[in-house]
A and B are shown apart, each in its own frame.
Chain A
Amino acid sequence: MSSITAPPGENESHVTSYPRFLGRSLWLATEGSLAFYAWMTVLTALFLVGANAWANQVAGGMIGTNMTDHVSWGLYIANFTFMVGLAAGGVMMVIPAYLYRDRKMHDVVIIGELLAIAAIVMCLMFVIADLGRPDRFWHMMPVIGKFNFPISMLTWDVIVLNGYLLLNLHICGYLLYMRYLGRKPNPVWYVPFVMLSIVWAISIHTVTAFLYCGLGGRPFWNTALLAPRFLASAFVSGPAFIIVSMVLIKRVTGVGGLDQPIATLTKIVRVTILINLLMVTSELFTEFYTGGSHTSAAKYLFFGLHGKTALVPWIWTAIGLNITAALLLLWPGLLELRRRPLLVAACCMAFVGAWIEKGMGLIVPGFIPSTLHEIVEYVPSQLEWKVTVGIWAFGLMVFTIAIKTALPTLRHPAEH
């Protein structure tokens, strides 16, 4: 009775069967083992802690964060930037599946698309968490608010992120709905959208990089390499996350056919992580060989400046993780089935490495030293950590439910 395939009456219209499909999916997604309920309960609890912390932040003002007029963006925007990358990273499944017609990848490509949905939801939550006046959110909506388009890059970002969310909701929703109806999906209704989503994935991260690299007053961000670097690290973190998810999905649900996609993704990360390291090296060479006051942020980040060293441990941890992960991934033996734990470890290292590099290692040093060359350091407050953990928990809940909804499709890929 748990099948998602429940063909409705012959002449039933979509108006009634689509809501029924949604209800059915929700019902199925909330069915599960004890471990599943325990996992969801823990996530819910963490989410509630975050929601409470955020409510306190709104009520008491953002003084509860450790951000200042000097470092005016912190952990939230760092996570936002990283999540955009994660959302874009899913495209590394879509490209092999649709452009290179990799059948095995095609069967499970929906994992990448569902990840994109969860990641974008988190992005939007991080933006809201960072607003001083979330009650004025409507000012940012086109037509009823005052949308500074096309001058403000932030408005571009709002458009591309929401567009990407809609695209992926449509693609996943359509495929799962067809499955529910027991019909063969009509390529006209989703393939063009998939192709569009490939270009769109690149755009979300490019526009997000433009948010920062367009600011002349922040030399650390003001580099043409920022957007390519963002993409390279997105193509590390996205596939790394998906590999770990697939290993877990295989273990927990016994879905088959995942090993080949895992191998393909590992091969992709093997290259992208090197490209990312190459770009970092190139950036560092330019900074340090040239010298001058443009270098102060990089100096602060890597070695500390005037005795202030808050970010130094972060960045060296990231570098250490990235290099170890890169070396592990270069080793062909990593793909052997019995070395799955090691593969997972390598992916986790790459993932955390990218998270630090893009967050604490990129957003924060943009503000240190400040535009008047003052050095005010930043370490996230407890409240910021709570909100962040809460949003991550919510994202994982969305991802878990989404994957559960898609399980029948993953088990028995349709012939399309």
Chain B
Amino acid sequence: MANTESTPQPTSKPSLPVVQNFTRRAAVKGAFATLGAGAFVAAVSPLRQAAKNTTAAEFMQQHYTELSPEQKADVIARLEAEAKEQYGADVQIADDRPIPGTKFVYAINLSVCNGNGKCVEACHKENNHDRDTNQSYIRVVEMPKGTMDMEKGSTTYTGTVPKDDKFYLPVQCQQCDEPPCVDVCPVKATWKEEDGIVVVDYNWCIGCRYCEAACPYHARRFNWKKPVVPAEEINPDQSYLSNRVRPVGVVEKCTYCLHRTRRGRLPACLEACPTGARVFGNILDKDSNIRWILENKRVYILKEELGTKPAFFYYFD
């Protein structure tokens, strides 16, 4: 029964005892397997470099929402030490939590915004963005007057602003109330907090970039490389869920500067805006400026038809 089914083997001589043949072939196969395994180890040796940058503690770290206060303190101490070691900067990383009774909302007066891009720059500095790629959470679209179709806009405009026939539309994370980015994340690395801010646990994100594909406002950024920020330019005033220097390979986004706003300050982009086009505040506060604008101006939201329910409004005077 056996031989009829065998593959023809030119090397096996019928006179040789089967066992001897077997051992020889086994030895040859073993040698090849060892060779292959050795070559594989050599091929993936750059991984050793990567492994050195990930400590065991970081590897084992649990999801942000599952850390006990002691664990959080340990994590933060570790991150501060890493900032010192890798960037040479003394930073303070806080764990700012939402203030009960707040729901942050942003609005921009498009009649006033003149496209100077100071907000883009302020974000870049405030949030310790990678210097090489000139990263920022804000993009300003230069739009021809007379259309709302972003297809007609340009984000790479140059020259003196404002131009007569244009208006300017700054876009950043809209902190959607129905955020598609949160829905798609396979590991719950991104979620919406009680004050409306959508955050990312940079130590839990696996870098699949599904959220980047899902966001309709181009609000998310991926760390394609380890961010480079000179020690003297690092903003030391940081928070775990916002502007601490991000690890490589994870996604990040605008957090309405929660390390400022949850401490009663205004977002960096608003403070930098020379025209006063930006208004920020707590919509639950009846006396707030933002509340007055939403009640009295004709505001609109971007891509309303998608049902993402942005907490970010635009209006004209």
Contacts and interface: CB of A to CB of B under 8 A. Distances in A.
12 contacts: A27-B29, A48-B40, A51-B43, A58-B46, A58-B50, A67-B224, A133-B207, A146-B204, A215-B184, A372-B155, A374-B218, A407-B7
A340 interface: no
A132 to B, nearest CB: 2
B67 to A, nearest CB: 13
Nearest to A53: B43
Interface of A: 1-5, 27-28, 30-33, 44, 48-49, 51-52, 54-56, 58-63, 65, 67-70, 72-73, 127, 130-137, 139-140, 145-148, 151-155, 158, 211-212, 215-218, 253, 293, 296, 366-367, 369-374, 407-408, 411-412
A61 B213 contact: no
B46 A52 contact: yes
A147 B186 contact: yes
Given A69-B222, A148-B186, A155-B186, A5 B2 contact: yes
B238 to A, nearest CB: 21
Closest 8 CB pairs of A and B: A132-B207, A217-B216, A132-B249, A2-B6, A3-B2, A61-B225, A154-B186, A52-B43
B40 A3 contact: no
A61 B250 CA distance: 10
B184 A412 contact: no
B151 A296 contact: yes
B205 A154 contact: no
Nearest to B41: A51
Contacts of B86: none
Contacts of A373: 150-151, 153
B7 A2 contact: yes
Contacts of B223: 61, 132
Nearest to A372: B218
Most buried by B among A4, A58, A133, A151: A133
A323 B122 CA distance: 54
Interface in B235-262: 247-251
A157 to B, nearest CB: 9
A293 B151 contact: yes
B20 to A, nearest CB: 13
A137 B249 CA distance: 13
B44 A51 contact: yes
Contact size class for B?
A: 35 or more
Given A2-B7, A217-B215, A371-B216, A48 B43 contact: yes
Contact of A372 (B141, B206, B226, B307): B141
Contacts of A148: 185-188
A217 B303 contact: yes
Given A52-B46, A72-B213, A158-B186, A60 B225 contact: yes
B73 to A, nearest CB: 22
A411 B214 contact: no
B15 interface: no
B18 interface: yes
A158 B221 CA distance: 24
Given A44-B36, A69-B220, A139 B47 contact: no
B218 A371 contact: yes
A135 B183 contact: no
B9 interface: yes
A65 B248 CA distance: 14
A215 B241 CA distance: 26
Given A51-B44, A62-B222, A216-B306, A147 B207 contact: no
Interface string B153-165: 1011000000000
A54 B43 CA distance: 9
B217 interface: yes
B94 interface: no
Nearest to B214: A215
Contacts of A134: 206
Nearest to A157: B186
B50 A151 contact: no
Contacts of B156: 374
Contacts of B315: none
A253 B247 CA distance: 52
